[in-house]
Amino acid sequence: MASPRVAVIGAGLSGAACAQALQDRDIEVEIFERGRAPGGRMASPTLHGRRVDMGAAYFTVKDPSFIAIADGWVARGLARPWTDSFDVFTPADHDVTTGPMRFAAPGGLRSLVRDQLPCGVRVEAPVESLDDLTHDAVVLAMPDPQAARLAPEACEWVTYEPVIAVASGWPDRSWAFTDAAFVNDDPDLSFIADDGARRGDGAAVLVVHTTADRAQTHLDRPDDAVAPVLSALRRITGIDAAPTWTHAHRWTFAKPTSTHGDADFGLGATGRPLGICGDAWSPSGAPRVESAWLSGSRLAASLAAMLT
């Protein structure tokens, strides 16, 4: 009997994990990605000669199955424990907070998505309509607002909020925090990361994430966010040098504003099976890299059982 064929739309971590777990169960997978490269919100483009993490800042681990994946990445040098302590800037204070270990990737977080992909990806291949696909089942592995365009009635979709990430190169690493800083109660910034500390090469590169409100103002022209972001960076950290370069990236659908409750994924079986995964499917309530991986791999187990 011929193996079932599944179209996985979206080559972020949830799509990669789903495709890998389907292939492990002898299911043929074809992956469609509308961008120029896999990675999704774990993007690490090359800027001024080195990879810079412009999406997710780091990942944390909790679930045993994801711990096993992360252990494998660490053992092979693809990921490394970065830090459990971040600075915290508030309008009144500058402190340090300790939390879970945050992991980073020397080659950029996108390298972890590539590592999970079981086969080649059809890049620059946006799927505009599910009717164009002849596969036995389809998986939507992307932010809800993008999935809703392809299957508006499939479930109750959640909304996402935007972030603009601004990377900047500096003459040297002389800033008043160690690895990264949460910025609380600020109208412009929410997070600042030292990309050289994170990636481990010591480059004098910062990546700043805006608040959703600041991003909303500049969604049409993200480059216009650079000046207010640099001004906020000076106000918050006291940094007084001028950057040697800057680069802005718009994430229109950066973070879900809620989740799908206790559900790990969506799977509809009226007609052709339609699976839905991504970081908004997060029973832990914390939509992030780990929940994207869990959602994709758990969907694959149920979809494979349905198809075989």
Ligand X SMILES: Cc1cc2nc3c(=O)[nH]c(=O)nc-3n(C[C@H](O)[C@H](O)[C@H](O)COP(=O)(O)OP(=O)(O)OC[C@H]3O[C@@H](n4cnc5c(N)ncnc54)[C@H](O)[C@@H]3O)c2cc1C
Can you give the binding site for ligand X, defined by CB under 6 A? 9-15, 32-35, 40-42, 55-59, 126-127, 141-143, 146, 163, 165, 209, 251, 254-255, 278-279, 287-289, 292
- The first and second tokens of residue 160, run together, are 């996402």
Q: Which residues contact 58 (CB under 8 A, 6 or more apart)?
A: 82, 102, 103, 104, 109, 180, 193, 198
Judged by beta carbon, residue 274 or residue 292, the one nearer ligand X is 292
The minimum distance between CB 1 and ligand X, in angstroms, equals 29
Judged by beta carbon, residue 289 or residue 304, the one nearer ligand X is 289
Q: Which helix (H) or strand (E) holds 160?
A: strand 160-169
- SS3 (DSSP) at 192: strand
Judged by beta carbon, residue 10 or residue 196, the one nearer ligand X is 10
- Output the CA torsion sign for 16, 17, 22, 24: positive
Judged by beta carbon, residue 19 or residue 172, the one nearer ligand X is 19
The minimum distance between CB 44 and ligand X, in angstroms, equals 11
The minimum distance between CB 104 and ligand X, in angstroms, equals 10
Judged by beta carbon, residue 10 or residue 243, the one nearer ligand X is 10
Do 23 and 118 contact (CB within 8 A), yes or no?
A: yes
Judged by beta carbon, residue 103 or residue 175, the one nearer ligand X is 103
Spatial separation of the C-alpha atoms in residues 179 and 51, rounded to whole Å: 17
- SS3 (DSSP) at 227: helix
The minimum distance between CB 126 and ligand X, in angstroms, equals 4
What's the burial of 103, exposed, middle or buried (CB within 10 Å: 0-12/13-18/19+)? buried
The minimum distance between CB 35 and ligand X, in angstroms, equals 4
- Tokens 């500096």 belong to residue: 170
Judged by beta carbon, residue 190 or residue 237, the one nearer ligand X is 190
The minimum distance between CB 109 and ligand X, in angstroms, equals 8
What's the burial of 267, exposed, middle or buried (CB within 10 Å: 0-12/13-18/19+)? buried
Spatial separation of the C-alpha atoms in residues 92 and 85, rounded to whole Å: 20
The minimum distance between CB 203 and ligand X, in angstroms, equals 19
Q: Which of 178, 191, 183 is nearest to 255 (CA)?
A: 191
